[in-house]
Amino acid sequence: MFKQNSLFLYFITASIALSGCLRTHNENMNPPKAKKIAKEMVIHGNTRTDNYYWLNDRDNPDVIAYLESENAYTKEMMKSTETLQKDIYNEIVGRIKQNDESVPYDYNGYSYFVKFEEGKEYPLFCRKQLGDESSNQIFLDGNKMAEGHAYFQIGGWDFSTNNKILAYSTDTVSRRKYDIYFKNIETGIIADEVISNTTGNIVWANDNKTVFYQTKDETLRSYRIFKHIIGTPVADDNMVYEEKDPTFSTYIYKSKSDKYLIIGSGSTLTSECQLLDADYPDGKFKIFQPRIEGVEYGISHQNGRFLIRTNYEAKNFRLMETSENNTSIDNWKEVIPNRSDIMLENFDSFENFFVVTERKDGLRMFRIFNTKTGVNHYLKFEEIDYFVSSAGNPDYKAIKFRYNFTSLKTPSSVYDYDMISEDQELLKRQEVVGGYNPDEYVTDRKYAIARDGVRVPISIVYKKGFSINGDSPLLLYGYGSYGYSVESTFRSSRLSLIDRGFAIAIAHIRGGEEMGRHWYEDGKMLNKKNTFFDFIDCGEYLIAEKYTSSEKMFAVGGSAGGLLMGAVMNYRPDLFKGIIAAVPFVDVVTTMLDETIPLTTGEYDEWGNPNEKEYYDYMLSYSPYDQVEAKEYPAILVTTGLHDSQVQYWEPAKWVAKLRDLKTDDNPLFLQTNMDFGHGGASGRFEQYKEVALEYAFMLMLLK
């Protein structure tokens, strides 16, 4: 139920809805009140009554009326902040370089880059032939393609090996269901053969006519892989693989060496790969290593061998190798062992090098291996709290490794690192229009002691002059699920809060993987409450250290982080002045019992299977929707999207309806549903900041 924006429902009677929700003076405006239709759900001898289950029907006009009345209520109650919202929006957009261009990367005879033009929402995807500066070509114009669509997203794109046919995918609904198109790059003609209901991923074989793609089932699980021959009817496409286990999803990619097509299947805890020579796409895929429950592995081809990242007998993962001809696990040989204090997160292979991404004490490191000399070394970074990531390294024969560096105060910076000479070059640093000096800001890493004695990292940023006296505002962010590590990255939009006196902090709570695999395992399944208690303990630490107070501290999280927000405010409603929950996964039990909902069956290894009583009882004990009580809650802003494919809009809608019915305070409770978008919110590069401006204005309003 991963990670951003969707909201919910209202209905009472038409006359009451109109008189109670559409008044022009907010001091007289009553909040929407959803009608109750009791639905009893019985399992394990336990009966739950859900009065708002009826909201689970986006085709019901009463549901749409309720959502629209909630939007009208939010707009009216936030009317006094409209000027502030516009100011914040203009500030944020004003910091973005309008005419901008990415650092180009070279691949298969061309240099590729992305451009943005002034006032335009969508990117231009461009390329030019190496050695010919006059050959600039725009092969996808997002702005023209988006015309007539409230939402638009380019998914994947890839050229045939001979560079003559472009395959690309688009989504115009925000349900993450993409249509694939084929464009003759020489004539500009788009073929009639359109492939629907895909993940958007496209992989070419080496024959310039065969492509592979993935389709989704009714729960939006990627479960089938098809082969399409250019120029033939889509209806004739052959299915080459079907993932029949509903807890697994499947995908396909090509090795960087271009030698193999690789089908991957994976659940939360188990992996399997299959191989096919990319020169012979009509052949049969061969299992690399049959799936073993609890064993994860990922592979990359390099010079007659495969490198393998795996947790096989290695909690923090290790790197193995095997020959092309003997790929079963019995033939794997260790290259880098498991280490208790270092997580092996990823690796990137080149013809004569490979780069391993490791994490120690919550911070990423790059380790460079030269396969010719057998020597390896680490890159060094100077800041105390930062994030680095591999970026744009498609060229198998490259001797330079490209990476991004950023921190909470340092804008995204692109470097090329020469793996032979060990020299590096800064190619580009994100420009903040209007001037920005990182030396005017302070970043730090602190550690809160959780109630069970564990040290939980907190990253924090504020402007010099910030008063650490218990009287300053602070926004605390958390996620804590799926082993997803929350990184210390720069966002210029945050300056609109920081420059107004806020500190912004990230709680690196259990459920993520910042401190190693155990950090994830200690925050999932029957250990999930550690995630919530860590966040609460981080908040209490920040108050005790006088960074803020409960009257000036806010919390924000989205998707599974929205679950975090819901649980935290049930446990400690007094700790925060306000809560912002984006596309929150709050109806945990009902969703995890409904196998027709996207992502449910594939996430039993994350949350547990409530069809088993032990997991049902544990989930029920923290499920935010089920645990809403008649008590005082902080001010709450909930955002969602009607077309959300990951956290269905009715979860936050039901939650808000129940909170309205039971809470005993007069604090604001707002639901904002975007009627055009889904989990990721708006698709344009500027439009998305309208919601950010709303969130910032909500907090600033509460401080008055």
* Residues tagged active-site: 559, 644, 679
Residues 6+ apart with CB under 8 A from 346: 309, 356, 357, 390
Instruction: Please report the DSSP string for 354-392 in residue order.
Output: EEEEEEETTEEEEEEEETTT--EEE----SSS-EEEE--
What span, in angstroms and rounded, lies between the C-alpha atoms of 116 and 698? 30
Tokens representing residue 567 in the block = 């649980």
Instruction: Please report the DSSP string for 70-110 in residue order.
Output: HHHHHHHHTGGGHHHHHHHHHHHHHTB-SSEEPPPEEETTE
What span, in angstroms and rounded, lies between the C-alpha atoms of 212 and 206? 12
Give the number of other CB atoms < 10 A from CB of residue 91.
18
Are 700 and 693 spatial neighbours (Cβ–Cβ below 8 Å)? Answer: no
Q: Is 250 exposed, middle or buried (0-12, 13-18, 19+ CB in 10 A)?
A: buried
Interior angle at CA 25, CA 21 and CA 26, nearest 5:
65
Q: What are phi and psi of 694, to 5 degrees?
A: -60, -45
Interior angle at CA 335, CA 334 and CA 340, nearest 5:
80
Q: What are phi and psi of 120, to 5 degrees?
A: -95, 140
Residues counted in the chain: 704
Q: Is 302 exposed, middle or buried (0-12, 13-18, 19+ CB in 10 A)?
A: buried
**Which residues does residue 669 pair with via DSSP β-bridges, in sequence order?**
636
Are 113 and 93 spatial neighbours (Cβ–Cβ below 8 Å)? Answer: no
Tell me how far CA of residue 503 lies from CA of 440, 474, 699, in angstroms: 13, 5, 13
What span, in angstroms and rounded, lies between the C-alpha atoms of 89 and 651? 28
N-terminal to C-terminal alpha carbon distance within the chain: 35
What span, in angstroms and rounded, lies between the C-alpha atoms of 65 and 523? 38
Sign, Cα dihedral of 172, 237, 299, 391: negative
Tokens representing residue 360 in the block = 């120690």
Give the number of other CB atoms < 10 A from CB of residue 315.
14
| H runs (alpha helix) in 548-639 | 560-571, 588-592, 604-607, 613-622
Q: Is 349 exposed, middle or buried (0-12, 13-18, 19+ CB in 10 A)?
A: buried
What span, in angstroms and rounded, lies between the C-alpha atoms of 252 and 258? 13
